Structure 1
Amino acid sequence: METYQSVAVLIPCYNEALTIGKVVDDFMAALPGATVYVYDNNSTDGTAAIALEHGARVKRESRQGKGNVVRQMLRDIDAEYYLLVDGDDTYPAEAAPLLIDPLANDEADTVVGDRISNGTYGEENTRAFHGFGNNLVRGLVNLLYGFRYNDIMTGYRSFNRVFAKTLPVLSTGFQIETEISIHAADKRWRIKQVPIEYRDRPAGSVSKLNTFSDGVRVLGMIFSLFKDYKPLGFFSLLAVISMAVGLVLGIPVVIEFAETGLVERMPTAIMAVAFCGLGALLLVCGLILDTVVKGHRRDWELRVTEEYAKQRR
């Protein structure tokens, strides 16, 4: 792809005045003809004005949080290919064609800019526990959703129009990267991972991430989507735990009854029955919700087919 008129570069921003001008210039140079959109999320440092001066199309999004910004971007902007990147100058613009070309060549529906494989994220990222958190989230998502991601939480990724227009964004904040990764794996989109060079923020630029609070939100998002996307597995796990507790409580009571003919620990016996009953109920809930989710998945597949049909017209 020699020119990139069909590409929309999406840059959600909150107080990135130090870097946004360079980021806009770099991506315009790396993707000739592409349109660069900067959505300002209540910045107080002149980010929007700087982006406008450098030739970006600028819009304000008043609902705070990256997830809210990305949701509105995908609703507002119509393009054939989308490149999502942060405005903090940590992702190399020269790698942008590597993320777009697999989409244009119909080799992938979404491309992930992988910071982990070549080791640059570990070298450049000096924030405590961020590497540990990334590894924890990646391990959980890979285990629960069956796709071997190298980098779950990268902010550098691309997707085609059908992927963008059928992506349900539920997140409000920095959970958006995890949500997109889970959606792509769960819905069996064609995913390609491209190693990129990562660089830490320049001096004076401050991260908006909070390691612990945002980490808790990301973990909550993982388990919430696990419940929504794979209810049989989620509720079966809870059922097994509940049944195990019931058996641990109940077996001594049964043994005691077999030896003496008496149930002397009646409260324990009642709790054992209650936990076993709860386990059975959880399993039934999982079976019912699994049927509902399969129906929703069929409806979603039909919607994707309709989007592809509209694109071919």
Structure 2
Amino acid sequence: MNKELSIVMPCLNEAETLEFCIKKAQDYFHEYKIDGEVVIADNGSTDGSQAIAIAHGARVVTVSEKGYGSALKGGFENALGTYIIMGDADDSYDFSQLNPFIEKLREGYDVVIGNRFKGGIEKGAMPFLHRYLGNPVLSCIGRVFFNSKIGDFHCGLRGFSAEAYKKMNLTTTGMEFASEMIVKAHLINLKIAEVPTTLKKDGRSRPPHLNTWRDGWRHLRFLLLYSPKWLFLYPGIFLMLFGFICSTCLVSSPIHWKYITFDVQTLLYTMSALFVGFQLVLFYGLTKVFAVTQQLLPKSNRFDTIFKYITLEKGLILGFFLILVGITLTLFAVSFWFQNHFGTLNFRETSRVVIPAAFTIIMGIQIVLFSFFFSILGLKNSIK
């Protein structure tokens, strides 16, 4: 039988606090006359949490695959509610104060995220590193990478419609599940709201399951992998511009700054920067196509427009042109060698030709290989 609201709590040995959380949720249903259910997504508890949940009228869903995200997904997929609100079973969130979430969902918002920094954090409820470094930094990165306005990317109290959950196609199994939900909601243009919520110190006597550095890295890794522009494209463009400008200056003559001279040795590094930046831009293109064809990222109109102009034929033409330029520069250097009867050459002068020649040939070959691989990746969706 369908319900209006399902409150899903992931559970792994939460016997100390589970009863209080279930009672608060049920009191909320009763006070506001909401047709709801409490779903306990048990992830292998050995402390009797399952029996406590059943004794207090909650429905227990057993999830065998380990992980915070796995437990939540198991609960969501078995929930009967039109709307779903998730929250930890450690008594750090007040399940009797869910009106801001349900009101936004009833208004038509697809996803509603709690913000603990706006609602209030009880002393000792959040570790110092999480409160002043980890959460603010990761939330800031998320806002920049995905043009988001969410201020608390990792609040564990959040709600969404069952329909929105299906659209998000969430796949991660660990703590990064919280970031994935917000990122996917933004990528598929769901309607998102943020409401203040409070966080108090959890009622357990044992340490939380969260691992500061491991789970922090998993959040950061997810944000990077789902934003190839920031991982590959923007750093690549910066390195290419830096390398090109510096190399252009050094090819003509050494650069003198006070008592320091930048010469062909520096040229080798600036050309390397140009090449590495070029590689990052190519990786961006390949990553983008792969992510879209595998439905990891949504396909945008801009994506289709751009890739209409990037074809195998154009890539081959550009690649072979660069190879030809490199060979021409090489022949130019060989002519100097010939004029010197294939003897010892001026290292500085010839390096200004040989280094750009070698890198131009390599970049041309890279473009040819990229064009073939790019076309292979695009075959699935007929990207030409």
Q: Secondary structure at the match of 2:3?
A: coil
Q: Tell me whether 144-153 or 276-285 shows the greater mean CA deviation.
A: 276-285
1:65 pairs, out of 47, 54, 67, with 67
Q: Residue 219 of structure 1 corresponds to which residue in structure 2?
A: 220
Q: Quote the offset at 1:12 in angstroms.
A: 0.7
- For 1:103-122, what aligned pairs fall within 5 Å after superposition? 103-106=105-108, 108-118=109-119, 120-121=120-121
Q: Mark the CA change 1:258 to 1:94 in structure 2 (over 3 Å): closer, same or farther.
A: closer
Give the Cα–Cα distance (whole angstroms) in 2 for the partners of residues 257 and 122 of structure 1. Answer: 61
Judge conservation of contact 1:88–1:205 (CA < 8 Å) in 2. no
Report the CA distance shift for 1:8/1:258 in structure 2 as closer, same or farther (over 3 A).
closer
Q: Structure 1's 257 and 298: CA in aligned 2 closer, same or farther, altered over 3 A?
A: closer
Of 226, 231, 239, which residue of structure 1 is paired with 2:236? Answer: 239
The CA RMSD over aligned residues, in Å, is: 2.8
Distance, in Å, in 2 between the alignment partners of 1:135 and 1:264 is 44
Determine the C-alpha separation between the residues in 2 that align with 1:51 and 1:135.
34
Counterpart position of 2:129: 129
Q: 1:273 to 1:31 in 2, by over 3 A?
A: same
Structure 1 unpaired stretches of 5+: 300-313
Mapped contact 1:16–1:47 kept (Cα < 8 A)? yes
The count of corresponding residues between Structure 1 and Structure 2 is: 286
Q: Aligned match of 1:273 in 271, 274, 295?
A: 271
1:92 is displaced (CA, Å) by 0.9
Letter in 1 for 2:75: M
**In the superposition, relative to structure 1, how do residues 121 and 105 fare at CA in structure 2: closer, same or farther (>3 Å)?**
same
Residue 186 (structure 2) pairs with residue 185 (structure 1): yes
Contact 1:175 1:214 in 2 (8 A): yes
Matched residue, 1:146: 147
C-alpha distance in structure 2 between counterparts of 1:170 and 1:254, whole Å: 50
Pick closer, same or farther for the CA change 1:123–1:165 going to 2, 3 Å. same
Alignment partners' CA distance in 1, 2:244 and 2:122: 45
Shift of 1:257: 6.4
TM-score when normalising by structure 1: 0.81
2:247 to 237, 250, 254: 250
Aligned-pair CA distance for 1:237: 1.3
Deviation (angstroms), 1:189: 1.6
- The alignment partner of 1:59 has SS state of strand
Rounded to whole Å, the distance in 2 between the matches of 1:74 and 1:5 is 13
Could you say which residue in structure 2 is the equivalent of 1:53?
55
Per-residue deviation, 1:219? 1.0
| Partner Cα distance (2:207, 2:15) in 1 | 11
Secondary structure at the residue paired with 1:80?
strand
The 2-side partners of 1:272 and 1:240 are apart by 14
Paired with 1:125 and 1:210, the residues of 2 have a C-alpha distance of 15
Q: Conserved in 2, the CA contact under 8 Å of 1:112 and 1:158?
A: yes
1:247–1:272 contact (8 Å) kept in structure 2: yes
Show CA shifts across 1:120-148 (max 9, x none).
22634252301121111111111111122
- Is the contact made by 1:7 and 1:81 (CA closer than 8 Å) also made in structure 2? yes
Q: Which amino acid aligns with 2:53?
A: A
Report the Cα offset of residue 167 of structure 1.
Answer: 1.7
In the superposition, relative to structure 1, how do residues 249 and 26 fare at CA in structure 2: closer, same or farther (>3 Å)? same
